[in-house]
Amino acid sequence: MNSIKVSKRTLLDNLNIVKVAVAKKSTLPILTHICLDVEPGDILKLTATDLKMSISTIMPVTVVGNPVSYTVDAKYLESVLSFFKNDDITIEYLEGGIKIFTVDSSVILHDDYVKHGSDFPIMPKVETRV
């Protein structure tokens, strides 16, 4: 089982930052998605792009299992998250989908709304020096 536990508020705050770069209309459906990249060290990286602009944020999460990368349709992710009343959310990666749940509610997103992270465009690395 691969899952993350995160605060709904933290996830929504970061989602609101990156969704600015989500393509509004695109012939590439993956550009309407946000990439959730679970990295070693209990870090979740959110990335969105319209191929002209890319935005990423990172946040601390609790990771259970192996790091995994997947994309979720930005509009549906935001809609599902606003549905939950509880602040502690678990996102579990399933084959071909994800399950988002709290102690009292759950939602499963499949196929059209969830893709493997390898389908997401690779973002160039930008180094900043202080």
- Res 1 pLDDT > 90: no
Side-chain-side CA neighbours of 16 within 13 Å: the count stands at 8
Name residue, tokens 């997103």: 109
Confidence band (pLDDT; 50, 70, 90) for 36?
Answer: very high
Name residue, tokens 């299992």: 65
Confidence band (pLDDT; 50, 70, 90) for 40?
Answer: confident
The pLDDT value given to residue 4: 95
Residue 95 DSSP class: T
Range 57-72 average pLDDT: 92
Quote the pTM value.
0.89
Q: Which of 5-9, 35-39, 74-78, 118-122 has the lowest mean pLDDT?
A: 118-122
CATH no. of 2-119: 3.10.150.10
